[in-house]
Chain A
Amino acid sequence: MTTPAEVRTREPKPDESAVLVVDNLHVAFPVLGGGSVNAVRGLSYQLRRGEALGIVGESGSGKSVSSLALMGLLPRTTRVTGSVRLDGQELLGMHDREASALRGKKISMIFQEPLSALTPVYTVGAQVSEALRVHNDISKEKALDRAVELLDLVGIPNPRDRAKAFPHEFSGGMRQRVMIAMAIANDPDVIIADEPTTALDVTIQAQILDVLQTARRETGAAVIMITHDLGVVAGLADRVLVMYAGRPVELGTTDEVYYAPRMPYTLGLLGSIPRLDASGRSALTPIEGTPPSLANLPSGCPFRPRCPLAIDICAETEPALDPVRGASHRAACHRKDEIETNGWTVTDVFPVPDLGIAEIERVPREERPAALAVEGLVKHYPLMKGVAFKRQVGTVQAVDGVDFDIREGETLGLVGESGCGKTTTLLQILELVEPQAGTIRIAGTDTRDLRGGPARKALRRDLQVVFQDPQASLDPRLPVGDVLAEPMRTHGYHKKQIDARVKELLQLVGLEPSHAGRYPQEFSGGQRQRVGIARALALEPKLVVLDEPVSALDVSIRAGVINLLMQLRAELSLSYLFVAHDLSVVRVIADRVAVMYLGRIVEIGVVDSVYASPSHPYTQALLSAIPIPDPDKERTRERIVLQGDLPSPANPPSGCRFRTRCQRFLTLTEGEKQLCIDRYPPLIPMGPDHSAACHYAEPVAVI
């Protein structure tokens, strides 16, 4: 057995063009009471001048920690060993003062959370010019002029005025642009972008990726793009490095890694991503198990417990990152040559589960009863001002006339960006109260007719919810058995019945019945979400509302939960209202999809039709903004980048609400535009069970 420290992953002699050379980097966090968490274990790579390297990994894979180590931003107690050379200059062990002279000048970083990366009490212009003045001896005025130029470069409208604004006056996307402006202020050689678009909506993500490309072109800097999203990297990176449990497990050009992965983890990761270009409802290939704890790594290959290809040697030695074919493609797997010669793909390595199909799905849609019918739903919030004497200054039109229905055994995906009203719609349905306008019918019962508590409580049995964040949706002080028993106790089940059902439920979602006495924190994120699903199923509901149920989970875990949801739907004939911002997840799980924009549905229909021929400009933009984990498709795709941010729902544009950002609107004549400005378009049928709310709707293929 070899200890991790001895396993060295060598790359050939650094070539002349390398601007950054990382050699055998180890990062360990000492833990109180002895031992340490080995976050990075032997990372080596070279970054050529002007190159874009994508580092891909799940949370805890060491991808962010390794780049913080390069920047010298880790706490003092951290043990960092190895070598990092920037233009031949060793960065590790450098005095903080010397490092500060380099940070922001030769190497700069873009962080994930634009909200906390800017100081709230200084203007944006001051912060960008500070980045300039720290490293250059220039006057305040000159620095500000340059700052305005930079803000203009990253696409901030009216940069001279906006430079005087404070960070809170900027939207998330705009703040991230400011961060990029600061990062490129001094023409750095290396830009590290740590999940720069994870906190943003997809249309904003497309804008930011565009800006990053511009920044790269302008400065000629090499970019390290750290992300968990294989789609984002596909179109942007020249080479990709996959990390697992603190080790690099595969390194190669983007095409090599995406089209010929040779490490089972990479294979599984690519197979577990729901793809926009998938053909209809299909099972994903989940990687079973969870990533290992870095404080207590098993001997041998860390991926072995989850690997279907594991053999005896995998338990003994950890494979080195050795070349597969040629020098550029490397993989850390004992059986990589076998994978190479046999040409194994994802489905050869990982079993594809059979999801089954519910009886009810064989019945034509029109003949099935509706599990949920929403007609003309409206929810307006008054906007109040003043402390002692509150007065109404406006109305937030969160939901403004929404119609859809879900038949039994059917899944409707409700998609849109944050602020589009999808969560408000969902909460309105869950509240089971009379809406401000319109009707909500659940399994045929109008919520307006519900009189008194008992009737409402009875209806709740048919309608259950799974929340987004499994961390927040389970009471940390309640053992899992009690979590699952709660709905049944509330609805008057017998004690004996409850005990049996709790175990049955745990087994149903793939957990151990004997774990009923454990607290939620003893489970991993994916397992907690399974508990959340089990709780929703306790009362055998007809309709389950899923509020972004997988967006808080890691990629490899996500596939397992999506598959579980699909299996349960088939077995129990459930109907789902699946709320999500991720159109690719909806593609895989839903039968029909409704796209929301500013409180209204702009396009609705069967998934195949909507994805193949989206007819509303907003749907087209949304779909084209989502990256596909396929480098060739990604490079050749024409991306529709929307202008600006979502308007405030307190003051929506007149007529068509989308016209202010609409790419179609720009191509219309003045006369045609007038119709968009004057009238909100009704839903126009575009095909069997597919309609779009656009005066000038026409299908455009964007995938």
Chain B
Amino acid sequence: MTVPSQELIGTVTAESGIEGTAALDETAVPSRGRIIFRRFIVQKSALFGLVLLVVLVLLAYVGPIIGKWDYSQPDYNSFLVTPNSSHWFGTDGTGTDLFAATMRGAQKSIIIGLLVAVLATSMAAIVGATAGYFGRWIDTVLMWIVNLLLVIPSFLIIAILSPRYHNNLTLFVVLLGMFIWQITARIVRGQTLSLREREYVLAAKYMGVSGPRIIARHILPNLASLLIIDATVNVSVAVLTETGLSFFGFGVQPPDVSLGTLIEAAQTSATTQPWLFLFPAGFLVLLLLAVNLIGQGLRDAFDPSAGVAV
């Protein structure tokens, strides 16, 4: 390939509004990954969300080590005491240290919330985009499965399977994740149907780019806003669904606790012994806040029109 002649450069660079020619310097061409990372970390709120999430996770796992009590060892000398130097978050009616319980519950809820959200949104993205992009029999089969899962009462399945795999958190996460992705998958499929007709997708296809790569590089990034919002919403959906299930005796079972079960138990005494309610609820609020800030930051980092100043 020849290097362009001088007058060619002279004629046309003028359109970019820059005079003269720039030498081919040695700096690397920034890849999309690096650009998005940079666009993410320059946002103060996003960075704050990320730090907050790290702090919360650290607290949940380090907290029980530095705390004086264990969530499963009640202090029979202090029932329903207000927060003090010994019981930082106070105790409940059975003498359980609320700090230890909240941290233990937070561990469970963080795992459930984040894993379920990532799992469900990824499933939705992959299945929806695959069905929409490839079409024909792949679309028919995948949508048939999605519709089937939509009509099966998820609560019943979890209720049946839960007792058999008692305390198996991985399975619980998978089950929970399995039942909240279908609607999003259908939306993703619909959007993909219109995206795959775009000229840039055709251009990639005529370049010889394979189907899965087109989905990963062109379809999903253009659905990023939808998927990120879906994932953040799914975190709270997962935490709250788990609470509901625990109430009916599935999911996290006593003596083990989750933030959901703690909030559930404290509901009746929220006005009389507010600390029982406020600490787990506050932790949950902070967790969701962190996830939302990160989600917003990611969304703006992916969207070039968001006006993020780099």
Name B2's closest neighbour in chain A (CB-CB). A571
Interface centre among B4, B25, B208, B224 (most CB of A within 10 A): B208
Q: Which 8 A-B pairs have the closest CB atoms?
A: A510-B12, A288-B14, A519-B304, A473-B199, A460-B208, A481-B29, A477-B221, A457-B208
Chain A residues, CB < 8 A from B2 = 571-572
A353:B29 contact, CB within 8 angstroms: no
The answer, yes or no, to whether A580 is at the interface (CB within 8 Å) is: no
Name B205's closest neighbour in chain A (CB-CB). A430
Query: Interface readout for A71-115 with B: 1 if CB under 8 Å, 0 if not?
Result: 000000000000000000000000000000000000000000000
Known: A465-B206, A467-B202, A473-B199. 15 other contacts (CB 8 A): A354-B7, A457-B208, A477-B224, A481-B31, A482-B31, A486-B209, A498-B29, A500-B24, A503-B25, A509-B12, A511-B13, A512-B22, A514-B27, A519-B304, A539-B207
A512:B13 contact, CB within 8 angstroms: yes
Q: Which residue from B24, B199, B302 sits with its C-beta under 8 Å from A477?
A: B302
Per the 8 Å Cβ criterion, residues 21-80 of B in contact with A are 21-22, 24-25, 27-32, 35
Q: Which residue from A457, A521, A524 sits with its C-beta under 8 Å from B305?
A: A521
The answer, yes or no, to whether B17 is at the interface (CB within 8 Å) is: yes
A527:B204 contact, CB within 8 angstroms: no
The answer for the CA separation of A494 and B27 in the assembled complex, in Å, is 16
B199:A472 contact, CB within 8 angstroms: yes
A361 to chain B, nearest CB (A): 16
The answer for the CA separation of A228 and B4 in the assembled complex, in Å, is 32
What band does the interface of chain B fall in when counting residues whose beta carbon is under 8 Å from A? Answer: 35 or more
Q: Which residue from B15, B27, B31, B218 sits with its C-beta under 8 Å from A288?
A: B15
The answer for the CA separation of A325 and B260 in the assembled complex, in Å, is 86
The answer for the CA separation of A653 and B55 in the assembled complex, in Å, is 76
The answer for the CA separation of A593 and B7 in the assembled complex, in Å, is 29
B34 to chain A, nearest CB (A): 8
Stretch of A168-176, A556-564, A608-616 contacting B (4+ beta carbons < 8 Å): A556-564
B12:A504 contact, CB within 8 angstroms: no
SS of B interface (majority): helix
The answer, yes or no, to whether A516 is at the interface (CB within 8 Å) is: yes
Per the 8 Å Cβ criterion, residues 210-266 of B in contact with A are 210, 213, 217-218, 221-222, 224
B208:A288 contact, CB within 8 angstroms: no
B207:A490 contact, CB within 8 angstroms: yes
The answer, yes or no, to whether B303 is at the interface (CB within 8 Å) is: yes
B192 to chain A, nearest CB (A): 14
The answer, yes or no, to whether B18 is at the interface (CB within 8 Å) is: yes
Chain B residues, CB < 8 A from A468 = 199
A504:B1 contact, CB within 8 angstroms: yes
Q: What are 11 A-B pairs with beta-carbon distances under 8 A?
A: A290-B17, A463-B206, A477-B302, A479-B30, A479-B32, A481-B29, A504-B24, A514-B27, A521-B304, A560-B11, A564-B8
The answer, yes or no, to whether B285 is at the interface (CB within 8 Å) is: no
Chain A residues, CB < 8 A from B12 = 288, 509-511, 530, 560, 564
A353:B22 contact, CB within 8 angstroms: no
Name B213's closest neighbour in chain A (CB-CB). A490
A362 to chain B, nearest CB (A): 17
Query: Interface readout for B119-143 with A: 1 if CB under 8 Å, 0 if not?
Result: 0000000000000000000000000
B208:A572 contact, CB within 8 angstroms: no
Chain B residues, CB < 8 A from A464 = 206-207
Chain B residues, CB < 8 A from A524 = 15
Q: Which residue from B7, B28, B31, B206 sits with its C-beta under 8 Å from A460?
A: B206
B4:A482 contact, CB within 8 angstroms: no
B15:A514 contact, CB within 8 angstroms: no
The answer, yes or no, to whether A118 is at the interface (CB within 8 Å) is: no
Query: Interface readout for A499-538 with B: 1 if CB under 8 Å, 0 if not?
Result: 1101110011111111111011110101100101001000
The answer, yes or no, to whether A289 is at the interface (CB within 8 Å) is: yes
The answer, yes or no, to whether A491 is at the interface (CB within 8 Å) is: yes
The answer, yes or no, to whether A264 is at the interface (CB within 8 Å) is: no
The answer for the CA separation of A223 and B203 in the assembled complex, in Å, is 43
B18:A512 contact, CB within 8 angstroms: yes
The answer, yes or no, to whether A478 is at the interface (CB within 8 Å) is: yes
Chain A residues, CB < 8 A from B9 = 507, 510
B16:A502 contact, CB within 8 angstroms: no
Chain B residues, CB < 8 A from A511 = 12-13, 16
Chain B residues, CB < 8 A from A504 = 1, 3, 24
Per the 8 Å Cβ criterion, residues 51-77 of A in contact with B are none
The answer for the CA separation of A463 and B12 in the assembled complex, in Å, is 25
The answer, yes or no, to whether B5 is at the interface (CB within 8 Å) is: yes
A284 to chain B, nearest CB (A): 11
The answer, yes or no, to whether B198 is at the interface (CB within 8 Å) is: yes
Given A513-B24, A513-B25, A560-B12 in contact, is the A476-B304 Cβ separation under 8 Å?
Answer: yes
Query: Interface readout for A547-571 with B: 1 if CB under 8 Å, 0 if not?
Result: 0000000000100100110010001
The answer for the CA separation of A564 and B15 in the assembled complex, in Å, is 12
A499:B28 contact, CB within 8 angstroms: yes
Chain B residues, CB < 8 A from A288 = 11-12, 14-15
Interface centre among A503, A527, A532 (most CB of B within 10 A): A503
Chain B residues, CB < 8 A from A535 = 203, 207
The answer for the CA separation of A477 and B203 in the assembled complex, in Å, is 15
Name B305's closest neighbour in chain A (CB-CB). A521
B221:A478 contact, CB within 8 angstroms: yes
Chain B residues, CB < 8 A from A515 = 16
A534 to chain B, nearest CB (A): 11
Given A475-B222, A478-B32 in contact, is the A491-B3 Cβ separation under 8 Å?
Answer: no
A353:B7 contact, CB within 8 angstroms: yes
The answer, yes or no, to whether B200 is at the interface (CB within 8 Å) is: yes
The answer for the CA separation of A286 and B10 in the assembled complex, in Å, is 12
Chain A residues, CB < 8 A from B207 = 460, 464, 486-487, 490, 535, 539
The answer for the CA separation of A567 and B4 in the assembled complex, in Å, is 9
Per the 8 Å Cβ criterion, residues 272-323 of A in contact with B are 286, 288-290, 305
Query: Interface readout for B88-101 with A: 1 if CB under 8 Å, 0 if not?
Result: 00000000000000
Given A509-B12, A510-B8 in contact, is the A486-B204 Cβ separation under 8 Å?
Answer: yes
Name A477's closest neighbour in chain B (CB-CB). B221
